[in-house]
Structure 1
Amino acid sequence: MKTLRMSRLAIGAILAATAIVATMTPTAIADPSTPVSRSTATEPTLRWLSQQEYTALVGVERAKNPHIAAAPPGAHFAGAPLDPPQHWYDIDQTDFDPSGIEIPTRHGTADFGYQHYAGPHNLTSQKAISAAYRSRPFVTQGAHYEYLGYLTFGDTLIAQIHTIAQLATSTDDRKFTTPDGKYIGTITAYCEGVTRCPDIVNSEG
């Protein structure tokens, strides 16, 4: 009799548990077929980097031997080319290097400044120049300073910008002296390895 009572209790417990499971909402039981949501990785974009920033991105070894690749289809950023002023001494932009040196880029002439490099080297982007001047100079000889900047897509190098600046108030030949007492600034700028920069360099002013 006691055994029969125990069996009835066990059956009752099983039926109660079955009823509870049957009344559970669908969200209470995980569906193994439901895919787990994953965060979408951010797509790489074109951006200008200083030499230090580029080294931090790709590592010292890759930075020592940069490999330049074509920009992938669709890579771009908004902006417009610089509309320069008219006098050689007018300043198109001003940058500061990591030491705090103020480096103007002047409208210039056929010998130096924006007029010297923009057309012949197909380089009108202000951000390209700024990226180089955010770097530490890799050449310093008196008033002659040289800098490097990098255009990247993710960790792919699209272009390497080389700028040369005159950190003096006159050009070496003394033909030009700044009326504002500031440095002559950018003498030239160009893309390493090519005569003319790829158009993608100028898609952002």
Structure 2
Amino acid sequence: MRVHCTSTDADGRKIVTRYGNSELGWNHFTHRHNIKKCAILNAALKDKVDRNDGHGRLEYDGVAIRTGGSPAQVKFVVIVQYTRKTKDGRYDAGRGQKIGVINAFCRNQPNNKCPAWMNQ
């Protein structure tokens, strides 16, 4: 699967976001959850892991802040599968590769969909 974005977290992990499909990766969350910029993912991925299941699933929390006339704050999550294969074994990134970002979404928003202002 082709890579759309790359980032490095605080622990030095190189994390890719692949184009993917309707189930995982960029093509999953860009439409479903309205995240359309690599910079949004990178804002969360540059910090330390917030949750680690010990089996390669890493979760990074982020906060988007809008300033100006109508300020707002939205919490979002980026989920990474930092293993060669997905948990269900259906996807394989290839020898020496990691799956990368499988999902990203906003918390406490209708359908976990991020507001349009985050993509400006």
TM-score normalised by structure 1 residue count: 0.53
Q: Aligned residue for 2:59?
A: 146
Q: Aligned residue for 1:172?
A: 87
Q: Which has the higher strand share?
A: 2
Q: Which has the higher helix share?
A: 1
Question: C-alpha separation between the residues in 1 aligned to 2:107 and 2:72?
Answer: 12
SS in structure 1 of the partner of residue 15 of structure 2: strand
TM-score normalised by structure 2 residue count: 0.87
Amino acid of the residue matched to residue 84 of structure 2? T
Q: Aligned residue for 2:105?
A: 190
Unaligned regions of 5+ residues in structure 1, if any? 1-88
Say whether residues 1:159 and 2:71 are aligned partners: no
Aligned ranges 1:85-100 → 2 under 5 Å: 89-100=1-12
Say whether residues 1:106 and 2:18 are aligned partners: yes
Q: Which consecutive aligned stretches of 4+ in structure 1 deviate over 3 angstroms post-superposition?
A: none
The one-character-per-residue Cα deviations of 1:137-159 (angstroms, maximum 9, x if unpaired) are 111112010001121245x6522
Aligned ranges 1:31-50 → 2 under 5 Å: none
Number of residues paired by the alignment?
Answer: 114
The structure number with the bigger radius of gyration is: 1
Question: C-alpha separation between the residues in 2 aligned to 1:125 and 1:180?
Answer: 28
Question: C-alpha separation between the residues in 2 aligned to 1:149 and 1:180?
Answer: 30
Verify the 8 A CA contact 1:123 1:197 in the aligned structure 2. yes
How far has the Cα of 1:178 moved from its partner?
1.1
Root-mean-square deviation (CA, aligned residues, Å) is 1.4
Aligned ranges 1:66-145 → 2 under 5 Å: 89-141=1-53, 142-145=55-58
Question: C-alpha separation between the residues in 2 aligned to 1:184 and 1:139?
Answer: 17
How far has the Cα of 1:180 moved from its partner?
6.0
How far has the Cα of 1:109 moved from its partner?
1.4
Amino acid of the residue matched to residue 13 of structure 2? I
The one-character-per-residue Cα deviations of 1:84-130 (angstroms, maximum 9, x if unpaired) are xxxxx100011111000111000011211011111011111111100
Question: C-alpha separation between the residues in 2 aligned to 1:192 and 1:135?
Answer: 18
Q: Aligned residue for 1:63?
A: none
